[in-house]
Structure 1
Amino acid sequence: MTGYEVAVRARAELGEGPTWDPEAGRLIWVDILSSRVHGYDPSSGRCTVRTTGQHVGAAKPRAGGGLVLNLRDGVGLVDPDGAFRWLHRDPVPGRRGNDAAVAPDGSLWAGTMRYDEAPGGGTLTRLTGDGAAEVVLPAVAVSNGTGWSPDGRLMYYVDSPTRRVDVFDFDGQRITGRRQLAQVEEGAGFPDGLTVDADGCVWVALWDGAAIRRYTPAGPLDRELDLPVSRPTACAFAGPGLTDLYVTTARTGLAAPHSLAGSLLVVPDAGQGLVQPAFAG
């Protein structure tokens, strides 16, 4: 069993999107289906909760303070004083925002999916700080983990039902040359959220797989962390030294969820993470 610890014992329906905010010294994560943004300070143990009013797929720090939120009806901004405003409103019946990530240039890459997970019903959209939006992947099923290599020249991406982790060439704004980095075999779960470490390895949470996998930049699997919960959703390195791997988990859809399903877990000293950029808006 992995040397995991319980950072926050919770009953999140669909915990997702752990993100370290170095300026605030806190971990940000969301409970999508409860429409909540959580904050956790590992030095004090202090937890905060903000309710968003609609399903929230991701929350990321902004360069000037506050948060950018990937919501059901589009992308919104929370200002440092707590005020909310829309950056890009794009409501589509039956669709919601899902995972999102901030690129090296400060743009937000925001995924969507249909509630029924219909193939082709989701998108991946690049948004700049002024709200300009460009759909970069127009027909995905469940847009999930997105991350960049340490040198910023590669982008990794998961459309969960494909069971693949894909990689693209990245020129700073555009992606080209999509190919498969890794395939998750039948029975091992579905790839969900991901993070990239300082060695360029890709860590992927396995929904229904009860594990986190680490793939090398060349594609081979070189490490697997077993977890007590069947539905880990995403992972991120956090804490002052970016060495602790935090894992969000879910209990939704489970007839008899583990007692820790929905909690925020942590694997201390799992590796070395990268500083994540803040959204430029």
Structure 2
Amino acid sequence: MRHAPEIAVRERAELGEGPTWDAAAGRLIWVDILSSRVHTYDPSTGHRTVLATEQHVGAAKPRAGGGLVVNLRDGVGLYDAAGAFSWLARDPVPGRRGNDAAVAPDGALWTGTMRYDEAEGGGSLSRVAPDGTVTGVLDASTVSNGTGWSPDGRLMYYIDTPTLRIDVFDVDGERVLDRRPFAVVEPGSGWPDGLTVDGDGCVWVAFWDGAAVRRYTPDGRVDRVVDLPVRRPTACAFGGAGLRDLYISTARTGLDAPHPWSGSLLVVPDAGQGLPGVPFAG
């Protein structure tokens, strides 16, 4: 790598997650799940905002008309441009919460869930249409995490963390088919968490307890490793001018002696070439 990781925003997030570039607003959005906070950061001005949600928030993504769509404990909610909240798809299940989420090329939101106790098979992956219609995709995940699409939209990558795999599906309209391993993670090298796909079709994966982000080529080989001083990076996304900077969310939860950067938002300047994101169409 030409550049080492730096602190973009010094923070003490318990479980920082889900960095997402909001192109319309020129800002980076990410969440602190366990503190029920949605953070934003404008790298050109340094301006920050913090939104407190009423429930644990697994992900927050920009909406096409302004505002945010959020994956909460009890379902998917909407904030309008003025900050007013409403439920889009509410489905409370005791002991379960929303986790990572991603917006597909067609503007639908793909949402993951998991149980607080991480019980095997207690999570899911669903597609939430802009009108709130929910379609189940996977109903026996454990810790539903990174989701992303290839540059041509024909492949979808997905991580159920305890499997120690990055899986790939063929995409047929709104359906995904033929699930198969894209890459298998060596035990002891960390747990695959959030991911992003770059303009070359490579998949960047953050490794919880692995202190690194690794880039996989389209044929599933690791060709770059970003070593980090923090033990628990959680997810990554490209943002900033030209989508060249790699932002990395991190966590401090469960660590007896966290690194001073743990919980902060990190950035690797000029790490690669990101793909333009799609806002939620609802």
TM-score normalised by structure 1 residue count: 0.99
For 2:254, the aligned partner's letter is G
Residue 112 of structure 1 corresponds to which residue in structure 2?
Answer: 113
- Number of residue pairs the alignment of both structures matches: 281
Residues 160-216 of structure 1, C-alpha deviation per residue, up to 9 Å, x if partnerless? 000100000012310000000111111100000000000000000000000000001
Structure 1 stretches of at least 4 aligned residues deviating more than 3 Å after TM superposition: none
Residue 202 of structure 1 corresponds to which residue in structure 2?
Answer: 203
Residue 261 of structure 1 corresponds to which residue in structure 2?
Answer: 262
1:142-153 alignment, distance < 5 Å: 142-153=143-154
3-state SS of the aligned residue for 1:272? Answer: coil
Output the CA distance in 1 between the equivalents of 2:221 and 2:40.
34
1:76-155 alignment, distance < 5 Å: 76-155=77-156
For 2:249, the aligned partner's letter is T
How far has the Cα of 1:230 moved from its partner? 0.3
Output the CA distance in 1 between the equivalents of 2:271 and 2:131.
37
Calculate percent identity across the aligned residue pairs: 74
Gaps of 5+ in 1: none
1:22-33 alignment, distance < 5 Å: 22-33=23-34
Residue 241 of structure 1 corresponds to which residue in structure 2?
Answer: 242
CA RMSD of aligned residues (A): 0.8
Residue 215 of structure 1 corresponds to which residue in structure 2?
Answer: 216
TM-score normalised by structure 2 residue count: 0.99
Residue 227 of structure 1 corresponds to which residue in structure 2?
Answer: 228
Output the CA distance in 1 between the equivalents of 2:182 and 2:17.
23
3-state SS of the aligned residue for 1:33? Answer: coil
3-state SS of the aligned residue for 1:269? Answer: coil
For 1:213, the aligned partner's letter is R
Output the CA distance in 2 between the equivalents of 1:239 and 1:220.
27
Residue 67 of structure 1 corresponds to which residue in structure 2?
Answer: 68
Output the CA distance in 2 between the equivalents of 1:230 and 1:138.
30
8 Å CA contact 1:152, 1:172 repeated in 2: no
How far has the Cα of 1:46 moved from its partner? 1.0
Gaps of 5+ in 2: none
Residue 16 of structure 2 corresponds to which residue in structure 1?
Answer: 15
3-state SS of the aligned residue for 1:241? Answer: helix
